[in-house]
Amino acid sequence: MDENTNTTDALLGVADAVVMDAPTPDDGNGTRNRRPVVVAVASVAILALLAGGGYLGWKTYTGHRLAEARQACVEASESYHKAAGEYSKLVDGDAAAASKVAAGQVADAKTVDALAEELKATEPKTVACVADDKAGYEAQAALIEKHAGWYGKHAKSLENAVKAVNDSKLAKTVSDAERLLKDSDGKVQDAKTRDELSKAIKAKDADAIAAASKKVNDSMAAKTKADEEAQRKAEEEAAAQAAAEAAAAAQAQTQQSYSAPQQSYTPSYSGGTSGSTGGGSGSSAPDFVPVSKGFGVGSADDCDAACRAPIQH
């Protein structure tokens, strides 16, 4: 536009010069004046030039509008790429970490399902900012802005889904820690570990809760081991004491015992002597022969004829 304006001004300046140099009409002294004719010719030439300059000006104007549409499309594309980049960063970062949380690790399993659904969303295709005219650039820019809006919307909903999972996980972590704190009362070797866990629960610090919970569990295990060792030692000592007492009792009983005296039975026999009258010789013999009761002769069946013969006096 500035170039065309300068050209038109230059043409008008030339026309003025032509008019100034043209002769004036006859002033009565025989001199003719040609200035009006020259001015008319110059005016026609200027109009023609102005018409040509108007075409150039319109072409410049339309070119300017096309450049503006192209620039608007480029700016929309930049916004689109920025939104798409932020969404991808969220998907590969916080969302990826939250997606590894299992349903058993959260207070509400629905949060895990909601996050999984958000990650299934299909991203829009990339639109190139290329066109042949102003209308084409405007159409491309509108589509690019629409896609950029998709990324902005889904990035927000994905952030909310990630937050829901993390909050639910923290809620369960706190709940489990509170149960551990209650169940560990009187069962830890070092009571300070429970104090540390209590502070972490109040702060709702997941990392601190995890560290404190481990210390409490380790302290509980140490106390359990110490109690079992003490019980085992006590049982061994009791068994040893019982064995010692049994041995002492056996020894005392041995010292008090004795061997009973053996008794023997020797039968005695008595008998009279008689002298034979008439100067004969006399002999003595038992008045009876006892049946043996284990003193050398068996039963009556074992006695021979001599044994059974009557005793002669």
Looking at residue 251, what is its pLDDT? 85
Task: Give residue 273's pLDDT.
Answer: 45
Count Cβ atoms below 10 Å from residue 63 Cβ, excluding itself. 11
Distance, in Å, from the CA atom of 154 to the CA atom of 138, rounded to the nearest integer, reads 25
Structure tokens at 13: 């300046």
**Rounded Cα gap, residues 161 and 177, in angstroms:** 24
Neighbour count for residue 140 (Cβ, 10 Å): 21
- Token representation of residue 264: 């023997």
Predicted TM-score (pTM) of this structure: 0.56
Q: Which pLDDT does position 254 carry in this prediction?
A: 84
Give CA torsion, residues 177, 180, 184, 190, to 10 deg.
-40
DSSP secondary-structure letter at 191? T
Is residue 227 within 8 A of residue 204, CB to CB? The reply is no
**Contact assessment for residue 145 and residue 80, using Cβ atoms and an 8 Å cutoff:** yes
Give the C-alpha distances (Å, rounded to integers) separating 126 from 26, 53, 129, 151. Answer: 79, 42, 10, 12
User: How far is it between the farthest Cα atoms of the chain?
Assistant: 255
Distance CA 95, CA 116 (A): 9
Q: How many CB atoms lie within 10 A of CB 296?
A: 6
Residues of the chain with pLDDT under 50: 1-8, 10-12, 14-24, 27, 31-42, 44-45, 49-50, 259-260, 271-289, 292-298, 313
Cα–Cα dist 220/226, whole Å: 10
User: How many helices (H) and strands (E) would you count in the chain?
Assistant: 8, 0
pLDDT tens string 117-129: 999 999 999 889 8
Q: What value, to the nearest 5°, has the Cα angle with vertex 29 and ends 23 and 30?
A: 65
Distance CA 309, CA 307 (A): 6
pLDDT of residue 107: 96
pLDDT at position 156: 97
Query: For residue 300, what are the CA distances in angstroms to 78, 184, 233, 305?
Result: 142, 93, 73, 11
Work out the angle at residue 220's Cα, subtended by the Cα atoms of residues 214 and 223, and round it to the nearest 5 degrees: 140
E-assigned strand segments in 39-140: none
